[in-house]
């Protein structure tokens, strides 16, 4: 009788803990939707994961407690150490890497379950549905794993080239067909170790082939997509293991990632298929073929500072160049100086600015910029015509008027920040190159635009000195 009561109590405790974890996951995600509550949201979701992890020790039939504990300890220490050390500029590639680890973990779970089928110790022919889900999770998780690693390499600068070859779409299609064939065999019939191995090798290869042709400028969308795929893979494997925490966490991450991917693609006015498949085998790196008239006109930081100090309204448009130079703290110091002189200063953020969703918001928050000074594209664009100075720091495509004016441009039709409509535009840029995406920016050649060349942090310091000297 006592054993039955203990078993019932353990079952009740496990289910209650999973329910609590689900509430914490969903509440945490909700709080992450707003910058002022995002930190608390991360903590809530982290507590949910802690609850779900600890309660696993009480699952019936669980063993290898020492191995589980060592793995959790080692992984936790490595994550804490790397999280504390990573620079904010490197956060996109860390997210891509950790996202890949999630997909790889889901694929590893599926691999173990399928190997148990192979040895006759696990899912049987009678459990075809569970085997199908295991194969589906293995496919999605493996692709997300290898694809995320390639995204990491591109963002880290280890792989700068966009690799394309003739007939790439056809080749990728054949690889995917072979994957489906092997997947069906693994899910519904007897299979050999060679077929099992070939399935995972091809899935890894497909993730690489899917990502290497995509340019670095599209990485925010790619990271978001692989995040969604990882969540889906985890959710699917949760159904295989009948683990509610994995189901809920995977479904929440997968649905949120899918929505974010759609929003990112919409912000670029491009269908997701265009991001993933455009230009395959053409050798086109995405540059505009139109000729640019006019020339870039330079301005000294001291002169730009004078104009800004006597302006009524300044809008700052941050981009990845600010992140690379780690200039966000200097820009906030400049903002405080201008505000002390009665200048109204706002920050304009484009949804795809930087190398990951929300990258610029995170950088500005780190520097202490109040959220009420940060405006989204839809809210700020109507204000540019009444803006005295638009200060563009390391941004390119998100302020390129070619999106409105040049029908031959790859970004034509993409919603942009209308910085060119300000009375004066100062662009902080290292040199005269076309930037990360390789597209010429018409803004740099406008009559009201002046180029302030140099490292963003150095230029910001000169602007600060210029304002202080008045």
Please tell me the predicted confidence (pLDDT) of residue 96. Answer: 87
Angle formed by the axes of helices 128-156 and 193-211, to 10°?
40
The pTM for the full model equals 0.78
Q: How far apart, in Å, do the first and last CA atoms of the chain sit? A: 85
Cα 450 to chain centroid, rounded? 32
Q: Where does residue 190 rank: exposed (0-12), middle (13-18), buried (19+ CB within 10 A)? A: exposed
Please tell me the predicted confidence (pLDDT) of residue 201. Answer: 95
The C-alpha atoms of residue 159 and residue 320 are separated, in whole angstroms, by: 18
What are the structural domains of the chain? 2-277 (no CATH), 301-468 (3.40.50.1220)
The C-alpha atoms of residue 310 and residue 245 are separated, in whole angstroms, by: 57
Catalytic residue among 218, 397, 406, 420: 397
Calculate the CA dihedral of residues 456, 460, 466, 470 and round it to 10 degrees: 150
Closest CA to 92 of 258, 226, 262, 286: 226
Residue 345: strand pairing partners: 314
Please tell me the predicted confidence (pLDDT) of residue 315. Answer: 94
Please tell me the predicted confidence (pLDDT) of residue 289. Answer: 45
Q: Which two tokens stand for residue 335?
A: 């903002």
Per-residue pLDDT in tens (0 to 9) along the chain, 470 residues: 445 446 677 778 888 888 898 899 888 888 887 777 888 888 998 899 899 888 888 877 777 888 889 988 998 899 889 888 887 777 788 888 888 999 999 999 999 888 887 776 555 544 566 788 889 999 999 999 999 999 888 888 787 667 777 878 889 889 999 999 999 988 888 888 899 999 999 999 999 998 888 876 677 788 888 999 999 999 998 888 888 888 888 888 888 888 888 887 777 777 777 667 654 333 344 444 455 666 788 889 889 999 999 999 999 999 888 887 888 899 999 999 999 999 999 999 888 777 677 778 888 888 888 888 988 888 899 999 999 999 999 888 888 888 888 777 777 788 889 999 999 999 998 766 555 556 778 888 888 899 888 888 899 999 999 888 87
Whether residue 300 lies in the annotated active site: no
Closest CA to 461 of 329, 347, 314: 329
Asked if residues 172 and 281 have their Cβ atoms less than 8 Å apart, the reply is: no
The C-alpha atoms of residue 276 and residue 43 are separated, in whole angstroms, by: 34
Closest CA to 268 of 397, 180, 154: 397
């Amino acid at each position: 009788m006592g054993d039955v009561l203990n078993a019932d109590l353990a079952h009740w405790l496990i289910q209650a803990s999973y329910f609590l974890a689900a509430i914490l996951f969903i509440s945490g995600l909700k709080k992450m939707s707003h910058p002022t509550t995002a930190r608390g949201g991360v903590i809530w979701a982290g507590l949910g994961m802690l609850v779900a992890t600890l309660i696993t020790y009480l699952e019936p039939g669980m063993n290898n407690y020492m191995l589980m504990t060592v793995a959790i300890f080692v992984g936790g220490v490595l994550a804490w150490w790397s999280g504390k050390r990573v620079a904010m500029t490197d956060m996109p590639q860390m997210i891509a890497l950790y996202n890949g680890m999630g997909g790889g973990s889901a694929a590893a779970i599926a691999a173990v379950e399928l190997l148990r089928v192979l040895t006759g110790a696990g899912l049987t022919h009678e459990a075809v549905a569970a085997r199908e889900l295991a194969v589906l999770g293995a496919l999605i998780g493996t692709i997300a794993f290898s694809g995320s690693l390639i995204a990491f390499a591109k963002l880290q600068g280890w792989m700068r080239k966009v690799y394309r070859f003739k007939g790439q779409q056809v080749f990728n299609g054949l690889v995917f067909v072979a994957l489906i064939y092997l997947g069906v065999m693994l899910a519904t019939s007897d299979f050999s170790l060679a077929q099992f191995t070939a399935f995972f090798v091809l899935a890894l290869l497909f993730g690489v082939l899917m990502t290497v042709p995509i340019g670095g400028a599209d990485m925010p969308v790619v990271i978001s997509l692989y995040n969604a795929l990882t969540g889906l893979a985890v959710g699917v494997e949760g159904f295989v293991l009948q683990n509610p925490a994995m189901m809920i966490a995977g479904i929440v991450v997968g649905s949120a990632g899918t929505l974010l991917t759609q929003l990112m693609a919409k912000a670029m006015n491009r269908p997701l298929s265009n991001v993933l498949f455009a230009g395959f085998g053409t050798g086109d790196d995405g540059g505009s073929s139109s000729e640019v008239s006019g020339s870039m006109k330079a301005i000294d930081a001291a002169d730009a500072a004078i104009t800004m100090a006597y302006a009524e309204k300044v809008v700052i448009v941050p981009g990845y160049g600010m992140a690379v130079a780690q200039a966000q703290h200097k820009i906030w110091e400049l903002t405080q100086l201008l505000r002390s002189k009665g200048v109204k200063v706002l920050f304009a953020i484009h949804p795809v600015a930087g190398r990951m969703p929300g990258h610029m918001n995170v950088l500005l928050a780190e520097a202490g910029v109040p959220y009420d000074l940060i405006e989204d594209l839809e809210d700020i664009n109507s204000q540019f015509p009444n803006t005295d100075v638009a200060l563009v720091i390391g941004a390119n495509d998100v302020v390129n008027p070619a999106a409105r004016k040049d029908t031959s441009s790859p970004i034509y039709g993409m919603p942009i920040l209308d910085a060119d409509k300000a009375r004066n535009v100062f662009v902080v840029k290292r040199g005269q190159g076309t930037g990360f995406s390789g597209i010429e920016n018409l803004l740099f050649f406008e009559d009201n635009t002046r180029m302030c060349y140099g490292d963003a942090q150095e230029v910001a310091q000169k602007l600060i000195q210029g304002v202080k000297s008045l």
